[in-house]
Amino acid sequence: MAKTRRKKRRTHVDASAAERAGAKECPRALVFARGRKADAVSDLRDDVRRVMEPHTAKNLKESKSNKLKDFVQVSGPLGISHFVMLSSSDANKYLKIAKTPRGPTLTFKIHSFSLAREVAATQKNPRNPAKAFLSPPLVVLNNFGDEAHQKLATITFQNMFPPINVRKVKLSTCQRAVLVDYDAKAKRFQFRHYSINAVPVGANKKLKKLLQSRNAPDLGELQDVSEFFDKRVGDASDSEGSDDESRRVHLTQDFNRIAHADSTSKIVLSEIGPRMELELVKVEEGMCDGRVLYHAYVKKTADEIKTLEQKKVDREKLRKKRRLEQEANVKRKNREKEARADAERERQGKPGKKKSPLDEYGNERDLEGEKEDDAKWAAAFEKEEREWREGDEYDAKTKSIVAAGARRSKRPRRGDD
């Protein structure tokens, strides 16, 4: 049997490993739909995933049972940097962009949108090459303001896509562009997605069509090849537009099969879709659960903000108290259950159940230490409950509820002597 050739790993860099290392530095977005009416934005979700390619999970299958914390837990191992969440209500549709894992979260109201297939239906010659989605799009931001929420929106849109190194970038990878334009009068963002193409200047349209096509035309009915070029050419496509001098560029690298280096070409943009009209309505800290930093419709004073923050602190204290109370109740019920079982065995003349010397992990139990821990836990709970009763939130209604629970706990139970 022939020996396999040894791979040179010490002096040769693994190309796949280098690509993976570079991919970790690139921002990755997870696009998914949420809410009870997620099906209403499923088509738009697929188009937005198409925009974010190749650094996204295009075949992600989310379910209605998935919670936001489930996506947050997997974002770290997968290198996810942003969440793009789409939702729908009875009145409006929303798009949220969140930075993992600690926010902030920007909420946009979708006033109108057009899917990619609807944009293509309006074009005479739609252009949607598959190779254009092998590299991320360029990002162009226009007319963004200097306000705090505008600056945050600028940073968010920029960081969703990989940065460009002008000295190292290859023109052949610049196949798409995402344009976000802000209308200051309407206070809305116009989102567009384009395909970039370079066409040689001065070439006959028939010749350009022949060079761009991979299939040879049918020249069987023609007497000479010149008849193919002399034949009347149809109207220009919707994407080409006029031959303006400002659209002519001198290429320093090969762009495609017909636009080569050291040639003058015309840049043509063809809209791919989707297109959206967005309005920034809310900016909040954290992952959709933090303090509101900006709201387009609701304005609160400093006292109102302070009151809301205090209510949040009180809710957290009450939640912590209830958790401690629940854990104490579970332990108490377990002890009562064991006591009733021991009493029943004693009544039947059976030996009492001995506690296992090993805990649930197979380690030797410290029975004396467990008793001390139970005593400390009970003392801490009594102290927490006493402080809570002396506080302001222990009103008459809460007092009556606690008293009713105490009366129920004193009722005789089945099996008690």
Tell whether omega for the bond before 104 is within 30 degrees of 0, i.e. cis: yes
Place of tokens 């912590």: 320
Indicate the residue type of 276: M
Residue 292 is inside which H or E element, if any? Answer: strand 292-295
The confidence score (pLDDT) of residue 179 equals 95
Cis, peptide link before residue 54, omega less than 30° from 0 = yes
pLDDT number for residue 237: 47
Let me know: does 82 contact 57? Beta carbons within 8 Å.
Answer: no
Per-residue pLDDT at 242: 53
DSSP assignment of 16-84, as one string? HHHHHHHHHHS--EEEEE-STTGGGGHHHHHHHHHHHTTSB-TT----TT--HHHHHHHHHHHT--EEE
Provide the pLDDT for residue 339: 83
Distance (Å, whole) CA 180 – CA 106: 15
Instruction: Report CA-CA distances (Å) from 144 to 148, 187, 386.
Output: 11, 10, 55
Helix (H) or strand (E) holding 270: strand 263-271
Structure confidence at residue 18 (pLDDT): 47
Domains of the chain and any CATH numbers = 17-217+238-281 (3.40.50.10480), 305-352+373-409 (no CATH)
The one-letter amino acid code at 396 reads: A
Distance CA 84, CA 53 (A): 13
Q: Tens of pLDDT along the chain (417 residues)?
A: 566 676 666 665 554 554 554 555 789 999 999 988 888 999 999 999 999 999 999 888 888 888 888 899 888 898 999 999 999 999 899 999 999 988 899 999 999 999 999 999 998 888 888 888 999 999 999 999 899 999 999 999 999 999 988 888 888 888 999 999 999 999 999 999 999 888 777 665 666 666 566 666 666 677 666 666 665 444 444 445 555 666 677 677 777 766 767 777 888 889 998 999 999 999 999 888 888 899 999 888 888 888 888 888 898 899 999 999 999 899 888 888 888 888 888 877 777 665 555 555 556 556 666 666 667 777 777 777 777 666 655 555 565 655 665 555 555 555 555
Q: Which residues have a Cβ under 8 Å from the Cβ of 150 and sit 6 or more positions away?
A: 144, 182
Q: What is the pLDDT of residue 248?
A: 72
- Which residues lie below 8 Å from residue 388, measured CB to CB, with a gap of 6+? 317, 321, 394
Other CB atoms within 10 A of residue 322 CB: 10
> What per-residue string of b and e applies to 56-69 under the rule 16 or more CB within 10 Å gives b?
bbeeeebeeeeeee
